Structure 1
Amino acid sequence: MTSITRRTALAAALALTLPALHAQESATAQLAAKPFTIVAPFPPGGPIDILSRMLATGLGEQYKQAAVVDNKPGANGNIGIEQVKRAAPDGHTLLVVPAGNLTINPTLMHNLGYNVEADFAPVSMMARASNVIAVNPAVPAHTIGELVALSKAKPNTISYASPGVGSGLHLAGELLREQTGADILHIAYKGSGPGLNDVLGGTVPMIVGNLPTLLPHLQSGRLRALAVTDAQRDPAIPDVPTLAEAGVKGIAVSSWYGVLAPKGTPPAVVEQLARDVARILGTPANQASLQKLGLHAWLVPTAAFGDLIRKETATWAPIIRSRKIEAQ
């Protein structure tokens, strides 16, 4: 009786395993069938471009196919995003995109040309970067508390730079203002570079930026970091406290980047791509490259990735509405 039970259990386990193995083999064969296009909806040089090239290189090596990065900047990333929306759902056209296009733009922009849930299949998170609140060293504030006090003592004099209206960094600044009552003014730039230059030059006293952008200037002393907006300190700048440690509760946000495929991509293909992303970003060479840039691999599984998008969308929507922030 025992042997029959064991044989039955083994047969049942095999019956469950074989279809999964077959689906994985079919997905692998489908992905190996033709070249890949990785759409990066922003210009070359930033985290999106870097992560896209890592992904393209890894997929090309894995499947022995050409894999190219197609930089499609314009309309705050919408041009490239809509290109992927229209692509065949076969796993060969992928989108590497920052959080804001998935969690902020749906509330901020009324005539958005895509619907995140209806048009895309989340594949995997790739990486995150700490957001940093930093000031020009001439500013007489060494902590968040001192910055808030200074802004209240001298109203309308402390402004902060961000890479654009409705960016995650802009909203992190607005969240800081809402939580602390700080009298800080937002100045929107077309990208991080111009705003950073004005802060380095002393024209603007403060910036909310992501660590890969600010790290060289923090290391050289041309900027002073007051806090990171994440839930934990960043190992690249371990002496900089979190906002919670600085006494500001209720803010724990970071910049992050993920991979999506067109809606309708077979689940087995999506799952195989998620495994590929984990393998590619887990290599020692890519880990070292990410750390040098102030990025951290963040491999959230497919289902949890979708949940995170929905959660952060719900977090940012009331901030956008209460501050009456509108796309420009």
Structure 2
Amino acid sequence: MSNQNGLNRRVFLTGASALSVTGFPAHAQAQAAFPTRPISLIVPFAAGGSTDIVARLVGQKMGELLGQSVVIENRAGAGGNLGSTAVARAAPDGYTILMGTISTHALNPAILKTVTFDPVKDFTPISLLAIVPNVMVVHPDFPAKTVPEVIKLLKENPGKYAYASSGVGTPLHLSGELFKSLGGVSMNHVPYRGAGPALNDVVSGAVPIMFDNLPSSAQFIRTGQLRAIGVTTKARVSSFPDIPTIAEAGLTGYETYTWNALFGPANLPRPIVDKLNSVANAALTDANVKQRLNDVSAEIIGSTPEALGEHVKIEVAKWFPIAKASGAALE
């Protein structure tokens, strides 16, 4: 698989130390024994979505490797803000961790009317697990078939065409806004309450264009009910190698995707960070986990904590001005 933002894809496994804890303070002994009880993995979205799927796949395997259950807790609300805030305010002991996303750590800080956490200062990065590509799709009757043709059509007909997304302030909404910004074009945004109803309207022809997670659109593309213009990642995806990237097809610098990563509260002790990083990245090498993630076109990463920390800073810098310019706002 290709590199993304210089991330280290090698599994970062830390060896267990054989040092005696005799005479160590109680907190040091607790860290050495970690975990001694189940871990709560907070998913800040409803069950059944792509973030929940990744969490359950990776969490189950992590639990097997740790010898303690990793319990998935779905705490949906405010675009992921409720669950993220709960982890930011949790005790830094490793027993409450977060499945964070581009929404929780790059978009929400820009579009929430009340920001309840700092995406950099209030969390300890653990590992970037996977990247899920987005795709620009159109109804088969849409007259443009390539990125340059789409841009030309939109420039000749400003405001005539609309694009659908899964909701205001979502990565898919802002994928469209980035396309507009870099392409210098005008499109109306039609937000839906989820990808399902949006896809239905694009398939029916009610809305001609959509930016979607590739797994959601995959079957429609395969059956010819939708035509893919381009994937949004820097490199082509293995599940659809014939679909060009939007960047290579003519819109230089265009890149968006959805990502899933593990975070703990701020000031999580390094031995606990290393242990969680080790088992999370080891879980990604499990044959079943790899197959299931590949099935949904997810690109497996498995990073160091430092690489995830840098990734978040880059994403915040990239998306903050785009999110602000979009006018999206969440309570």
What TM-score, normalized by structure 2, do the two folds share? 0.88
1:317 aligns with 2:325: no
1:207 aligns with 2:210: yes
Deviations 1:186-240 (A, max 9, x none): 1122222221221122111111111122112112221111011211111111111
| CA–CA separation in structure 2 for the residues paired with 1:266 and 1:65 | 19
Contact 2:128 2:262 (8 Å CA) reproduced: yes
2:311 maps to amino acid:
L
| CA–CA separation in structure 2 for the residues paired with 1:221 and 1:23 | 63
| Residue aligning to 1:182 | 185
Name which of structure 1's ranges 27-36 and 182-191 shifts more when overlaid on structure 2: 27-36
| Residue aligning to 2:88 | 85
1:241 aligns with 2:248: no
Which of 91, 102, 107 aligns to 1:104? It is 107
Name which of structure 1's ranges 78-87 and 288-297 shifts more when overlaid on structure 2: 78-87
2:61 maps to amino acid:
G
| CA–CA separation in structure 2 for the residues paired with 1:257 and 1:176 | 23
2:93 maps to amino acid:
D
Contact 1:27 1:272 (8 Å CA) reproduced: no
Which of 247, 251, 254 aligns to 2:254? It is 251
Pairwise CA distance, 1:56: 2.3
| Residue aligning to 1:301 | 304
Unaligned runs of 5+ in 1: 1-16
| CA–CA separation in structure 1 for the residues paired with 2:235 and 2:68 | 40
Contact 1:160 1:187 (8 Å CA) reproduced: yes
| CA–CA separation in structure 2 for the residues paired with 1:324 and 1:47 | 26
1:62 aligns with 2:65: yes
> In terms of Rg, which structure is larger?
1
| CA–CA separation in structure 2 for the residues paired with 1:113 and 1:31 | 29
SS in 2 for 1:117: coil
Pairwise CA distance, 1:32: 2.9
Pairwise CA distance, 1:285: 1.0
Structure 1 residues 220 and 117: alpha-carbon distance in aligned structure 2, compared to 1, 3 A threshold: same
| CA–CA separation in structure 2 for the residues paired with 1:27 and 1:210 | 41
Identity of aligned residues (%): 34
| Residue aligning to 1:197 | 200
Pairwise CA distance, 1:128: 0.4
| CA–CA separation in structure 2 for the residues paired with 1:61 and 1:76 | 30
| CA–CA separation in structure 1 for the residues paired with 2:226 and 2:20 | 52
Pairwise CA distance, 1:136: 1.2
Within-5 A mapping of 1:223-242 = 223-242=226-245
2:220 maps to amino acid:
H
Pairwise CA distance, 1:322: 3.5
| CA–CA separation in structure 1 for the residues paired with 2:271 and 2:124 | 12
| CA–CA separation in structure 2 for the residues paired with 1:29 and 1:181 | 55
| CA–CA separation in structure 1 for the residues paired with 2:16 and 2:249 | 53
| Residue aligning to 2:25 | none
| CA–CA separation in structure 2 for the residues paired with 1:144 and 1:298 | 28
| CA–CA separation in structure 1 for the residues paired with 2:42 and 2:15 | 34
Pairwise CA distance, 1:162: 1.3
Pairwise CA distance, 1:30: 3.3
1:317 maps to amino acid:
F
1:221 aligns with 2:224: yes
Contact 1:231 1:242 (8 Å CA) reproduced: yes
| Residue aligning to 1:5 | none
Higher helix share: 1
Structure 1 residues 65 and 222: alpha-carbon distance in aligned structure 2, compared to 1, 3 A threshold: same
Unaligned runs of 5+ in 2: 1-13, 22-27
Name which of structure 1's ranges 29-38 and 237-246 shifts more when overlaid on structure 2: 29-38
CA-based RMSD of the aligned residues comes to 2.3
Contact 2:120 2:312 (8 Å CA) reproduced: no
Structure 1 residues 76 and 283: alpha-carbon distance in aligned structure 2, compared to 1, 3 A threshold: same
Structure 1 residues 18 and 273: alpha-carbon distance in aligned structure 2, compared to 1, 3 A threshold: closer
Within-5 A mapping of 1:149-188 = 149-188=152-191
Deviations 1:38-80 (A, max 9, x none): 1111111111111111232112212222322111111111121
Pairwise CA distance, 1:26: 5.9
Which of 269, 288, 291 aligns to 1:266? It is 269
SS in 2 for 1:118: coil
What TM-score, normalized by structure 1, do the two folds share? 0.88
| CA–CA separation in structure 2 for the residues paired with 1:299 and 1:18 | 17
| CA–CA separation in structure 1 for the residues paired with 2:20 and 2:256 | 37
| CA–CA separation in structure 1 for the residues paired with 2:222 and 2:256 | 23
| CA–CA separation in structure 2 for the residues paired with 1:146 and 1:232 | 21
Contact 1:23 1:268 (8 Å CA) reproduced: no
